[in-house]
Structure 1
């Protein structure tokens, strides 16, 4: 091979890599979507039970709560922030809803509204500390993570409230609509509707454009007339409401309100966002990618379990995926526009 031929092949490879880089920069959902499709095909070959309607409905049920929390997490990460209290807010909201009904005797619909209001207030506290006190989001949410989990133990007395002790509305999200062999829970329907709404809101509203602008360059956004403090506060507050809705879905999923769940929800929600192609540096990503990221986590865990892989190696595989996703994001961000 001549020197000229070798140089030509190198230029061709560089050109191909640059084109791929530009495509992934313009369409960050393509990478996660390709991973999801390949994973589904691979696990279907390894175990034919994987692609059954019963198993696929189980995968969707398993990712519903995490996907809802990851939706709120996406809004925050798009602004270059992070929320380590997502799981704590969701679990605490579910405990408050259950105890409003059981201990205070409040009707189900009112308990639900109060639970949503409390979740929203917890998100607003995070937003206030970030925007008014100007504390780093990581420090703020690390602190409120501990506070909310501690209050959770105090309010619940470390006792689980069974679904049979609560009004049927509280566990309604766990009911399912049979579609052939597939079971679609009302919780999954709520989750999908939330994703559809925020997909529209981020793409087609001024608020959504301000969220992206704030995450891309907060100082440039401020100079352009965007009230970045209000945008950040609205994002954390909205995320709190989404976490509370996730808490309601969690009650339906478990048929109870337990204070002993959710220890992994924070990292799982961040994992779903990162795998979905949303940049941890803000300003790039989509909620559609987050939904795909949550499905990737569910598909990998379910597929590896059916393949007989031990739980510790399932976690290893998910962690490896996160490292690959972050490395890919770093590479994509170097694209020259």
Structure 2
């Protein structure tokens, strides 16, 4: 099952992830999902930006038999001749100005419709972001709220290990582990951007360290979020230069350029969920150039 850019190769993803989550709120969400019939179900999945909403969607999909997923409104006008009508799952991320007709067509059945938001629909309606028709439809939905990671300390270390597994499988490199001080540092951190921030932190540490056991210094370094890119690179490259100082013809320049470039591409692609057009725009390069580089580094 694909998870954006990264791929986890477990055959039963819902059951695997169920073992990852330890906090009562997430355990309850998993139990609620297991009890559903998936016949014209409507879900409203919400939580702070960066919480694991996309993962919960994949858990829901994992309980169905090869669902035909449609993004709303992007896929509404596509030819659906190959789709089994009763196997369709609608996924709606942009709730503004959504036409809810697809939910109420008497000639059409669907497995479920999953609405995803950073805010509760009550707040969305009060702020004029969604229509009254959509608000009424969501009143009958199954609400699934994902609390922020800082309120689910029990999930931080299991999630971190899960992300490290994803990263190692994606990069086709041996898995890295967390030292005791790294685990303590992760638990003490505020994670204002939730699991997304945790994953980015681990990806960066994975790429920038050679050893297999990550420490708190690998994760957070001797710098804070305001530390400049220049200072960060000087710190890392300074350590690398010391290692290569006594080696002749080490080709350090090409090594550094390629490693930095590869790391940038991985982070940009991961940030945009695999969208090369958006990633190229973030990086400030041509999309064709990015595609060639991704192939060169065997990232696609």
Q: Same fold (TM over 0.5)?
A: no
TM-score (norm. length: structure 1): 0.23
TM-score (norm. length: structure 2): 0.25
Q: As a proportion of its length, which structure holds more helix?
A: 1
Q: As a proportion of its length, which structure holds more strand?
A: 2
